[in-house]
Amino acid sequence: MGLCTATILTPMLGLTEPGTTAVVLLIFGILMCVSVLLSRLLDRTGIPVVLLFLLFGMIGGSEGLGGLEFDNHQAAFRIGTIALVLILLDGGLNTSFRAVRASLLPASILATVGVAGTAAVLALIGRLLGLGWPEAILIGAIVSSTDAAAVFAVLRGGRMRMRERLQNTIEVEACINDPMAVILTVAVIESVISRSAPSWTLAYQIPLQLVIGGGVGCLIGLGAASLLNRAGFATAGLVPVVTLGSAFVAFGLATIVNGSGFLAVFAAALVLGNRDIPYRRGIVRVHDAFAWLSQVSMFLMLGLLVFPSQLLPVAWVGLGLGLGLAFVARPLVVMACLKPLGYSVKHSAFIGWVGLRGAVPIVLATFPIMAGVPDADRIFHIVFFIVVVSTIIPGATLRKVTRSLHLHDPLPPRPVAAVEMLSLRRLNGEVRVYPVRADLVICNAKLRDIAFPEGAAAILIVRGNELLAARGNTDLLAGDHVYIFCRPEDEPQIGLLFGRPLDD
């Protein structure tokens, strides 16, 4: 059985001998565990933990301690695409309609005009650094979009929250700007190979692909939500299979009909995450794990593709482009896009600074290699250098910049215990956790003196390391966390008393 499995996996991974599959899994497993263990230390610096996975991938590569030879860019592209689908699925499930409505216009402009503008300015910088126009334009297109994985790793994984309007704009932009970068990259590659200018049809192809992708994704999301509510599954393990399958269907169908597959995945997940579906919290938890597994595996794999010896010859170009992207191209274009929308210089500059790059540009950098573009390997390593530089600098300074500009929104501490209600059927209510703040009217009040809506009640209180039964004579103290069962229609009244829940 082991031999058969190794025989199947070996050509998929681009390896030479079936016996090496076990070695690959062993080394991958060690690198994944070590990376996760070190992630807490890296998180304190603000640097996205995904860069640690890239580093360990390089260590495990053919020029590192692991000695693994992996240069199958087609396999990397396929695996990277699946991983990006899982990451966007998790991002959509955790994004509210309210956040999208509040930031759709600025995020859409940044995801289209902003991406194209960033590519153009960076191409100009590349030309000033001595690159030829075709090479400079192609690199600009590849690294033009921010990365959802890196953004979520810093903004959500690091437990840092900034002003709601800013965070919504940054996150929504990161989720919807990949299609524009893909379209630009493919168009530039076709232009380089054919030695002709890009077709004028891009003017309508780009918005058409975005509209088709968004429409297909919404329809798939509605269909999946209806299926989940009608099917009546006997086991909870089957529910995430439906949501995962819907993401793959959305990507495949949208791509086949000439739409944006990545946008379709995000749209489908957005619809699913905002519908009343059974086992919702369980679904979110499962896909959050899938997303992190995808990030770890993808960045380790992409690190294997990099040859450190080829980074040195392009180091000065990569450093110059990385600094130009972080300090010039991204901030200038973002300020130009957001100025007409009434964003202040401080807010525009901050959004421009949070231009984290990650796996998407590296996956796009495999396109020229597969297409046979001249000097494609050199372009790949320049892109890798740009991604690392333009992520480390903003990432390491993001928390300090956020606080110095007074743009942070302090997160309340999370309770040491978590209580959830999971059901395979739709229920008429749910359990939510509310932190008790000193400025709330219910602070220092007894539970029996709080006017809960009919049908709502506090069921548990977490105070430090203690669990307290929610009784009428229990006092609510600052720092407590109250678990409240309520119906959807009662949540506004509960919010007036207890403020925002932790999971909102």
pLDDT tens for each residue of the chain, 504 residues long: 444 444 444 454 455 454 456 766 776 677 667 766 766 666 666 566 667 777 777 877 777 776 777 778 888 888 888 988 998 898 889 888 888 888 889 999 999 999 999 999 999 999 999 999 999 999 999 999 988 777 877 776 555 667 778 888 988 898 888 888 888 898 899 888 887 776 666 667 778 888 999 999 999 999 999 998 887 777 777 888 999 999 999 999 999 998 889 889 999 999 999 988 888 878 888 888 888 888 777 777 778 888 888 888 898 999 999 999 999 999 999 999 999 998 999 999 999 998 888 778 888 998 999 988 888 999 999 998 888 888 788 877 887 888 888 887 666 666 766 666 666 666 777 888 899 988 888 999 999 999 898 888 898 999 888 888 888 898 899 889 999 988 888 888 898 889 888 765
Cα separation, 92 vs 99, in Å, equals 11
**pLDDT per residue over 395-442, tens digit each?**
778 878 888 888 876 666 667 666 666 666 667 778 888 999 888 889
Cα separation, 318 vs 337, in Å, equals 26
Cα separation, 102 vs 318, in Å, equals 36
Cα separation, 188 vs 142, in Å, equals 10
Give CA torsion, residues 493, 499, 502, 504, to 10 deg: 60
Query: Into which CATH architecture does domain 73-404 fall?
Result: Up-down Bundle (1.20)
Helices (H), ranges, 156-201: 164-176, 178-194
| Cα separation values, 433 from 47, 65, 265, 463, 485, Å | 30, 47, 30, 13, 9
Question: In this predicted structure, what is the pLDDT of residue 159?
Answer: 55
Cα separation, 386 vs 143, in Å, equals 8
For the chain, domain boundaries: 73-404, 430-498
The pTM of the whole model exceeds 0.75: yes
Closest CA to 155 of 141, 169, 144: 169
Cα separation, 477 vs 490, in Å, equals 23
| Cα separation values, 354 from 148, 176, 432, Å | 12, 16, 31
As a whole number of Å, the end-to-end CA separation of the chain is 47
Contact 481, 434 (CB under 8 A): yes
The encoded tokens of residue 333 equal 């274009």
Class of domain 430-498: alpha beta
Give CA torsion, residues 311, 304, 391, 74, to 10 deg: 100
* Total residue count of the chain as it appears in this document: 504
How many beta carbons lie within 10 A of that of residue 195, not counting itself?
7
Cα separation, 394 vs 352, in Å, equals 10
Residue that has been written with the tokens 């320049």 in this structure? 382
Strand ranges across the sheet with 457-463: 430-435, 481-486, 457-463, 466-469
Say whether 488 sits in a helix, a strand or coil.
helix
Q: Partners of 457 in the beta sheet?
A: 485
| Cα separation values, 202 from 115, 140, 210, Å | 14, 17, 12
Helices (H), ranges, 342-474: 345-353, 359-364, 366-371, 376-404
**Helix/strand/coil (H/E/C) assignment for every residue in 96-141:** CHHHHHHHHHHHHHHHHHHHHHHHHHHHHHHHHCCCCHHHHHHHHH
The encoded tokens of residue 57 equal 């991938």
Residues 6+ apart with CB under 8 A from 412: 435, 437, 502
Closest CA to 146 of 101, 104, 114: 114
**pLDDT per residue over 251-290, tens digit each?**
999 999 988 898 899 999 999 999 888 888 788 888 888 8
Cα separation, 184 vs 182, in Å, equals 6
Residue that has been written with the tokens 């919504």 in this structure? 168
